[in-house]
Amino acid sequence: MVECWPMERNGQSGTIDRELRAELEKIMDGDGIVSRHTELKVYECDGWTIEKNAPDLLLMPRTTAQVSAIVGALYRRGVAFVPRGAGTGLSGGCLPIHAPVMICTSRMNRIIAVDVANRRVEVQPGVVNLHVTDAVRRQGYFYAPDPSSQGACTIGGNIAENSGGPHTLKYGVTTNHVLRVELVLPDGEVVELGGPAEEKLGYDLVGATVGSEGTVGIVTGAILRLMRAPENHRTMLAVFAGVQDATHAVSGTIAAGMIPGAIEMMDGLMIQAIEAAFHVGLPRDAGAVVIIELDGLEAGLDARAAQIAQLVRDRGAREVRLARDEAERAALWKARKRAFGAAGRLAPNYATQDGVVPRTRLPDILRVISALSERYQLRIGNVFHAGDGNIHPIILYDEREPDQVRRAIEVGHEILKACVEMGGSLTGEHGIGAEKLGEMPLLFSPDDLLVMTELRRVFDPAERSNPGKVIPTPGACVEVAAPRRQVPL
Ligand SMILES: Cc1cc2nc3c(=O)[nH]c(=O)nc-3n(C[C@H](O)[C@H](O)[C@H](O)COP(=O)(O)OP(=O)(O)OC[C@H]3O[C@@H](n4cnc5c(N)ncnc54)[C@H](O)[C@@H]3O)c2cc1C
């Protein structure tokens, strides 16, 4: 049974009066302010489209000084705000809940300094993830966290969500690659957490900020760690009759002591969608495919690739295709990284779930998902970071049918419950946001939630930075996320 936890919550949302509006306009110098209802609708949701709510005012600052002045002005009048990057989040992280003002950092998009000698790069928060690697590729470096949305999502969003990606199996998630964060606290004060040096003293406040989903203030700058690009890759596609064989092959590979750069899986439904959209040559009759990428020194790569190919054949792969050149490798990654987009071929709407199970439980959770799909009469595709046990069931529905929306929410809840029961977690990389508030008590006790709230209040005593996210409201902790405003497309 889920318990609720007693605690007074701070946080009045406040309103934008004429005086505040005038002050904000002065700070923005008349530029980067969106207040027309029709334009604000663009910002009413992120990739979690089940819930929608436009802000009353959107501000798009270009400098830390502007962010600090905006947040300071809001603080003095008790007005709450929600940070936003590119809006590619998948858990409703930048959905305004009791927050009239949205502060979007996507125009703070300068790469300030590249320092390959010290393997680091200083960026503003609106820099698009892929642009960091683009800036250092020719010098033989890359930025490791590579969300499939990396062509659009921003570093500020990545830091807030502690984002991962296909290659984080080997290289770690965002928190492993952030050395320093510049943060505007919810009273407008600018602080620097961490520093350029690799070793740090004291409490890990950068660690507390990464993954805090915008609830501790606005990230206005970061120093990121760069990695030396591997000398070469071997990328292969293992083809299976079904997801059960495929997932056994994944855990078997890692159990054999091999840690590839990435192991990504897609099931038959997603293969159909990807082929219909992008024609990359995936086998349409397969029940599942697994992309396995090895990277490192050229010497020994072929031998390791042959060993893995044998391992997966022994576990049921009917075919293993090795990418023969960079073009074939790129095609495989295009298939994987655009898979979510291809889901649009299957249904008018989809909700991407994000749960984690111990790798060896992948066959079990996929069995559960298949049974739930039957029970709720909703198709569910699967494309996920198999090496990490990080599943992404793609729940297909039509938002014009209220009952389908209800079932999509409920089936997502059931999947997450099963993940927790199997010893897993509620999110691998997409965050809790607004979507999974109701599930937090499945994993955390009232005391755990209290400690999280106290930590948050060190940064944000009045809880005005992204209110209504991550930590459920006391007394509401058994709720399944309820749709807020529903807007059929
Ligand atoms: C097709 C697709 C594929 C995806 N694949 C992956 C994947 O492989 N791995 C993965 O981890 N995620 C993935 N995502 C999810 C999403 O891209 C990430 O969560 C990403 O980090 C969000 O970045 P954003 O700039 O769009 O942030 P937004 O969606 O705008 O915001 C996300 C959160 O960050 C906060 N935030 C944004 N900017 C700031 C800031 N400057 N300071 C403080 N808080 C801020 C917001 O308040 C919100 O809580 C995918 C999404 C899509 C649509």
pLDDT in tens, 176-231: 999 999 999 999 999 999 998 877 788 999 999 999 999 999 999 999 999 999 99
Residue list, ligand 1 pocket, CB within 6 Å: 46-47, 82-90, 93-94, 105, 125, 147-149, 153-154, 156-158, 160-161, 163-165, 213-214, 218-219, 340-341, 429-430, 466
CA of residue 338 to ligand 1 center, whole Å: 16
Ligand 1 mean position, distance from CA 162 (Å): 9
Ligand 1 centroid to 433 CA: how many Å?
10
Q: State percent of the chain over pLDDT 90.
A: 86
Q: Quick: pLDDT tens for 446-456.
A: 999 999 999 99
Identify whether the C-beta of residue 480 lies closer than 8 Å to the C-beta of residue 415.
no
Ligand 1 center–CA 87 separation, angstroms: 6
Q: What is the pLDDT of residue 5?
A: 42
E-strand stretches of 173-318: 178-184, 190-194, 218-225, 227-228, 232-240, 262-267, 288-296
CA 68 to ligand 1 center in whole angstroms: 22
* DSSP states along 155-179: HHHHHHHT---TTHHHH--GGGGEE
Length, in residues, of the chain = 489
Query: What is the pLDDT, as a whole number, of residue 478?
Result: 38
DSSP letter, residue 22: H
The type of residue at 476 is A
pLDDT tens profile 402-442: 999 999 999 999 999 999 999 999 999 999 999 999 999 99
Predicted confidence at residue 258, as pLDDT, reads 86
Q: Ligand 1 pocket test: pick from 149, 159, 471 the residue with the most ligand atoms within 8 Å of its Cβ.
A: 149
Burial class (CB in 10 A: 0-12, 13-18, 19+), 203: exposed
- Is pLDDT above 90 for 286? yes
- Res. 56: pLDDT tops 70: yes
Q: Is 279 a residue whose pLDDT tops 60?
A: yes
The protein residue with its alpha carbon nearest to ligand 1, atom 11, reads 163
pLDDT at 130 over 60: yes
For residue 163, count other CB atoms closer than 10 A to its CB: 29
Say what the pLDDT of residue 273 is.
Answer: 95
Atom of ligand 1 nearest to the CA of 213: 49
Examine the pLDDT at 4 and tell me if it is beyond 60. Answer: no
What sign does the dihedral 463-466-467-472 (CA atoms) show?
Answer: negative
The residue type at 14 = G
Higher pLDDT, 311 or 487: 311
pTM: 0.93
Strand partners, 218: 184
Q: Which helix (H) or strand (E) holds 276?
A: helix 268-278
Q: How far is the CA of 147 from the centre of ligand 1 (A)?
A: 9
Mean pLDDT taken over the chain: 92
